[in-house]
Structure formats: C-alpha cells, structure tokens
C-alpha cells in the first residue's frame, strides 16, 4: 500500500466536505450494491466526485445507496433536481460520468442518449 496515496485522502476529504454543506440543487445517488460495485460503480463515483470538484460545482451533492432494482444495467445513478425531476442513467463508465457532470450538472442539460428513465416527483 502506498502511503502517499492515502495522505491525499485527507486533502481531498477536506475539499469535498466544503462542497457538502447546505441544500443543493442537484443530488446524485450512485447505486453501490454488490452488482453495482462489480460493474464499476466505484470508478463512476470517483470520476464524478473528481469532476465536480474540478469544476467547482458547489450546488451538487453525491450520495451512495444500496441496490435500486436495476442490477442488470449497472452502474446506475439517479440525478435528482431540487424541483423533483429525476433522471436515471444506466450502464455507465468513467467517460459517460464525466459527460453527465459536464452537461447535466454543470449546464442543466440532461444527457438524453444515456438516460433510461425520467420522472417528476412532487
């Protein structure tokens, strides 16, 4: 194990904590059950955290959850907007995750060709 790598945890955690306070416009929920992890959900999560931090998107929070019933199309994330709009993305990888951050989270434009579901909750 490389300790220098672990040291970075502390710096990163502090930056990410700073991005965590208050009510956010977007909440991203990453499915992190066994199937999701096997399919690469951790990589998707890490890419999103890094990209959100790099772009300084202060109005986004990222959370993990257990299986959400889409085990066959993992990795899966749900992007929830404060007004109740929910978009589900499936079969993700790092590149698609970056695209979702760049278009949906940074510019309010859902990535239609990656979305598998959309609904509005009151």
Partner 1 sequence: MRTQNPIKLRPLLATLRAEVLTDHVPEEITGGYCSDLLSDVLAHAEPGVLWLTVQVHRNVVSVAAMKDVAAVLLTCGRKPDSASLAEADEAGIALLTTPLSTYEAAGKLWEAGL
Partner 2 sequence: MFDELSLNLLDIGMNSLAAGASVLRIVVIESHRRDWLILQVRDNGCGMDDATLQRILAENSSTKANRKKSIGLGLALLRQTSEMCGGTFHVRSTPGKGTTVTASMRLTHIDRPPLGDLTATIETLAASPTVDVQLHYRNDNQTFHFHSQEAKHHEPSRTPKTKRKSAEASRAA
Shorter beta-carbon distance to partner 2: residue 43 or 103: 43
DSSP string across the chain: --HHHHHHHHHHHHHHHHTT-S--SEEEEEE-SHHHHHHTHHHHHHHHHHHHHHTT-TTEEEEEES--S-GGG-S-EEEEETTSEEEEE-S--HHHHHHHIIIIIHHS---GGGEEEEEE--
CB of 21 to partner 2, least distance (A): 9
**Which residues lie near partner 1 (CB under 8 A)?**
34-35, 37-40, 71, 74
Q: By CB under 8 A, name the binding residues for partner 2.
A: 1, 3, 5-10, 12-14, 16-18, 20, 30, 32-35, 37-38, 42-43, 45-46, 49, 62-64, 66-67, 69, 71
């Amino acid at each position: 194990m490389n300790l220098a790598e672990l040291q970075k945890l502390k710096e990163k955690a502090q930056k990410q904590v700073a991005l965590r306070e208050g009510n956010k416009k977007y909440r991203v929920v990453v499915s992190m059950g066994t199937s999701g992890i096997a399919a690469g959900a951790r990589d998707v999560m890490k890419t999103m955290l890094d990209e959100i931090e790099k772009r300084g998107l202060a109005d986004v929070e990222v959370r993990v959850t257990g299986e959400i019933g889409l085990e066959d199309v993992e990795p899966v994330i749900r992007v929830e907007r404060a007004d109740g709009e929910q978009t589900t993305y499936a079969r993700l990888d790092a590149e698609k995750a970056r695209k979702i951050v760049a278009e949906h989270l940074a510019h309010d434009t859902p990535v239609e060709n990656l979305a598998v579901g959309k609904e509005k909750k009151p």
